[in-house]
Amino acid sequence: MFTVEHDFDATVVTLVDEAPGKPRPLREDVTLNAFEDCVTVEQLDPRTEDVQTITLSLQQVRDLAAALNAPEGVYRTAQQP
């Protein structure tokens, strides 16, 4: 399951780990914040109760999207201005 919300300066996507019929524990929710110049990925670390954040450039997001459908190998995507 996921939700999409449009805030003032970002689009926020929250991914909820659902596994019907599977035993717990499920993973903590993942929140993606899409800003004008970057995307952050956040997830609560239940061991420390801290939110861990990763920041991706827009080029890294494009590379990730391309990588999801690519076979094993090394690739370089076209640079965006």
Q: What is the largest CA-CA distance in the chain?
A: 46
Q: Is the pLDDT of residue 78 over 80?
A: no
In this predicted model, what pLDDT tens digit does every residue of 2-34 receive, in sequence order? 899 999 999 999 998 887 777 777 889 999 999
Question: What are the Cα distances from residue 38, in Å, to 23, 31, 45?
Answer: 35, 14, 22
Domain boundaries defined on the chain: 2-67
Helix (H, G, I), strand (E, B) or coil at 24: coil
pTM over 0.85: no
CA pair distance 9, 76, nearest whole angstrom: 30
What's the pLDDT tens digit per position in 28-67? 999 999 999 999 999 999 999 999 999 999 999 999 988 8
Phi, then psi, of 58 in degrees rounded to 5: -65, -35
How large is the C-alpha radius of gyration of the chain?
15
